[in-house]
Amino acid sequence: MKRKVLLIYTGGTIGMEKDYGTGSLKPFNFENIFSKIPEIQLLECEVRVQPFDQPLDSSDMGPKEWQRIAKYIGDNYELYDGFLILHGTDTMAYTASALSFMLKGLRKPVILTGSQLPIGDLRTDAKENFLTGLNYASLYEADQAVVQEVAIYFEYKLLRGSRTLKHSAEYFDAYLSPNYPILGQSGVHLHFTKEALYRAPKDQPFEVDYHMSPSVLFWRVFPGMSMAHLRALPNVKVLILQVYGSGTISNSEHTERILQKLRDQGTEVVVVSQCVSGAISFGKYENSSVFTKIGAISGTDMTAESAITKAMHLMDNPRYRESFAENFPKSFCGEVSEN
Ligand code: ASP
């Protein structure tokens, strides 16, 4: 049976070709993708292209564009078996995380991919990423989609979207999922770690929740940073502090006073780590005690990308009766390891 895939093209290097005259990169008309990759015809799927009107560098993407992608998926959910999103690599992990929170009760694959080199380049990684991404987006077993979550496929690996970060601007192997196993790997065959695949609760129907609050700020602390910068943040409802190791920060009364003031004015403080792998653990060191004192929320082993988009999705979201502080530590789509 031929599976139907909606291909959402947003922009990025994957949709560019080199002008060999000038040496610069320019977007090509994406409707012509089938002539660039004739191998698509060999796959057991039917593809319809839904391009953005204007291809975007992914640094120009944000909540509006995430909502647009979510709407394409929501409006076409019943009509297609899977969704492949072609995206610039720079912010793909943010889009993947945001979509993971917006698309609730997902039972079909939503795969994001892109490339480090344009599709027309001799050494391009675009073709493999694209074709295998399409493969994963149309893979069914016994009439059930194998992947039922938002994932990134890149350089032979399938990773949970909400666990992913871009770690290299140079190598083809650009993404990591440091705190969660790889969902799948493509070799001669497409492999899966079946027990790692996410399954939405049985009673959760598919639904798109577009909510994204703009009142989130992310701040990386560094040795010698003046905490006074954090004194006046009037419109910030969630401050995500990226601190050291398993959750430490310079231990001073001044730090505590400033953070307590933010808490008193109603700002939620979420703590994530500057380490790529491992987790926040309040109480492990004396220098994390301030977070317990002020009632900060641990981001545990979430990526920064996931913590940011989760905070945007949860803050002021009328769907939830529980408070932000109650909800944030919970797993909504397998983005965090629960104790
Ligand atoms: N700057 C590009 C983007 O993220 C890089 C890429 O596509 O790889 O849109």
**Would the CB of 12 count as within 6 Å of ligand 1?**
yes
Residues 18, 10: Cα–Cα separation, whole Å: 18
R_g of the chain, CA atoms, integer Å: 21
Handedness of CA 49, 53, 57, 63 (dihedral sign): negative
Residue 161 CA to residue 100 CA, distance in Å, equals 7
The CATH class given to the 216-327 domain equals alpha beta
Query: Which burial class, exposed, middle or buried, applies to 317 when counting CB atoms under 10 A from its CB (0-12, 13-18, 19+)?
Result: middle
For residues 56 and 193, what is the distance between their CA atoms, to the nearest angstrom?
33
Query: Tokens for 215?
Result: 């009142």
pTM of the model: 0.96
Is residue 13 among the annotated active site residues?
yes
Q: Which fold has domain 3-208?
A: Rossmann fold (3.40.50)
Spell out the per-residue pLDDT of the chain, length 339, in tens: 899 999 999 999 988 887 778 888 877 777 777 777 888 888 889 999 999 999 999 999 999 999 999 999 999 999 999 999 999 999 999 999 999 999 999 999 999 999 999 887 889 999 999 999 999 999 999 999 999 999 999 999 999 999 999 999 999 999 999 999 999 999 999 999 999 999 999 999 999 999 999 999 999 999 999 999 998 888 999 999 999 999 999 988 999 999 999 999 999 999 999 999 999 999 999 999 999 999 999 999 999 999 999 999 999 999 999 999 999 999 999 999 986
Query: Which atom number of ligand 1 is nearest to the Cα of residue 57?
Result: 9
Handedness of CA 277, 59, 297, 335 (dihedral sign): negative
Query: How many residues would you count in the chain?
Result: 339
Distance CA 206, CA 5 (A): 18
Decide whether 3-208 matches 216-327 in CATH topology.
Answer: yes
For residue 62, which of 16, 25, 35, 97 has the smallest C-alpha distance?
A: 97
Is any atom of ligand 1 closer than 6 Å to the C-beta of 90? yes
For residue 13 and ligand 1, the question of a CB distance below 6 A is answered with: yes
Mutate to test the pocket of ligand 1, among 57, 155, 168 (most ligand atoms within 8 A of CB): 57
The finding on whether 88 has its CB within 6 A of some atom of ligand 1 is yes
The catalytic position among 13, 89, 91, 248 is 13
Residues 6+ apart with CB under 8 A from 271: 240, 241, 243, 247, 280, 282, 291, 296, 297, 298, 299
Tokens of 7: 């291909």
Distance CA 55, CA 30 (A): 9
Delimit the domains of the chain by residue range: 3-208, 216-327
